[in-house]
Structure 1
């Protein structure tokens, strides 16, 4: 019996290793939240993914505290696409975009316009289409429109940004770039971004139970906007908005591994 058990264990291990070998290596572009950086709230997620065998690009995005919307949305898309290309060149057979907070909204927007194998939206926030956001940054949006109309679209000026946990604050950007991020019906309109996801693109929508109240109220409504896909799911970790990336590492890894096998 012992000899049979050993043979069975060896055979099972061989099957397991064969299954792992057959699974394409996954590449993940990780994007931080508004005013953040790769070394803050997404750093644990990026490090864990890399340690566990995923190919990772943890990017400094245009909405970081250092960059302050220094380029427009199209340029940001090109930056992510370049990172995905680099991951493919390193051997990634499947590629994913994963974003936290504003990075989550951008991941949804990007996933609706570019080929990726899946989107991970972690506590997505910064929806420029909602009433609170429109009121907070509306005057700056109008100011930017006027400056563009006057031919001053590339001259840096001070504009308003808004975050639920921080309120309204100033950023320095060009009017032309600022508008691409803050137009109410533009790229960072979360409703439009979610509706733009195609039916063949699965989404892991992470909605922490202790998120900001405004995001908790709309999470089911937002999730319902996604196209139906058998692997699209909502995960609700017991975590705050800021700690959601760290709290979701295992869920994200399991989901990406599952999608990668399809």
Structure 2
């Protein structure tokens, strides 16, 4: 049924129209997928179904890093897309809004809290995309400089071939220099510790990582940068990067229940 609703939404409105499940009970969840993925993958459908079973209203927009869009919008434009999903949930009766995401979706959820006031909480599952670190930074360095040069010479809106790294694997993507730089600038808006430190207001943050991924030992890298809030929690679940949404479902439901009660 969820897949049917998703396909119908795509046919009627394209990626600009998010998938919406369930009936509101006061908490709406914007659910952001991982890089190269989509809202209707098995783990996202399963998590949405679990949220639905507790009465939550869920919006799952297809974002600029999906497998079919892959960098067709800047970071700020993506934040505006989340704004629209938030507004739609509020119009359907959601009183509180949680922006939740997996991997690059978690990155965007943190970025949303740093640039907008629309969220009442953030869930970051297996946060990913680290343009400021290691292999991602090294692999993108030449293209980041090229993107800066293209923008300086007035060619920032023309599509070019750039490199990308996803879980250690390199690939080529087509994007404008403006879009590429917004996601890969090592001091830009997609840097997660920078986003966490820049939350517009103290928010409850649930950050969940898998025990078999690097950030399992990195609580201080992102989570501790966010403003203190009594509702914030850092959790490690026994899984790898891709398994976090499934392994953390019970933790997420419990956390949302506590948020709803406050």
Fold-level similarity (TM above 0.5) = yes
* C-alpha distance after superposition, 1:209-231 (max 9, x if no partner): 12x2x323423443222221111
Q: Which residue of 1 aligns with 2:253?
A: 253
2:132 equivalent in structure 1: 129
User: How far apart are the structure 1 equivalents of 2:114 and 2:203?
Assistant: 8
CA contact (8 A) 1:35 1:64 kept: yes
Paired position in structure 2 for 1:228: 228
Higher-RCO chain (CA-CA 8 Å, sequence separation at least 6): 1
Q: Which has the larger radius of gyration?
A: 1
Distance 1:260 1:88, change over 3 A: same
* Conserved 8 A contact 2:211-2:236: yes
Say which SS state the counterpart of residue 218 (structure 2) adopts. Answer: helix
| Distance in 2 between residues matched to 1:26 and 1:33, nearest whole Å | 22
Q: Secondary structure at the match of 2:225?
A: coil
Paired residues of 2:52 and 2:58 also in contact (CA < 8 A): yes
Secondary structure of the residue that 1:227 maps to in structure 2?
A: coil
2:39 counterpart of 1:38: yes
What TM-score does the superposition give when structure 1 sets the normalisation length?
0.86
1:18 corresponds to which residue? Answer: none
Q: CA separation in 2, counterparts of 1:261 and 1:51?
A: 17
What per-residue deviation string (whole Å, max 9, x for no partner) do you get for residues 17-76 of structure 1? xxxxxx951100000111111122322112221232100001111011111110111111
The answer for the alignment partner of 2:191 in structure 1 is 189
CA distance in 2, matches of 1:174, 1:26: 36
Using the alignment, how far apart are the partners of 1:50 and 1:157 within structure 2?
41
Matched-pair contact (CA < 8 Å) for 2:48–2:58: yes
Q: Distance in 1 between matches of 2:92 and 2:70?
A: 30
- Cα deviation, 1:224-246, whole Å, max 9, x if unaligned, reads 22221111001111121101111
Query: Conserved in 2, the CA contact under 8 Å of 1:104 and 1:121?
Result: yes
TM-score normalised according to structure 2 size: 0.86
* 1:1-262 equivalences in 2 (<5 Å): 25-40=26-41, 41-115=43-117, 116-164=119-167, 166-198=168-200, 200-210=202-212, 212=213, 214-262=214-262
Point out where structure 1 has 5 or more consecutive residues left out of the alignment.
Answer: 1-22
Give per-residue Cα distances to partners, 1:152-175, cap 9 Å, x unaligned: 1111111011122x4211111111
For residues 218 and 253 of structure 1, the distance between their equivalents in structure 2, rounded to whole angstroms, comes to: 24
What SS does structure 1 have at the residue aligned with 2:257? helix
- How many residue pairs are counted as aligned between the two chains? 237
Unaligned runs of 5+ in 2: 1-23
Contact 2:25 2:57 in 1 (8 A): no
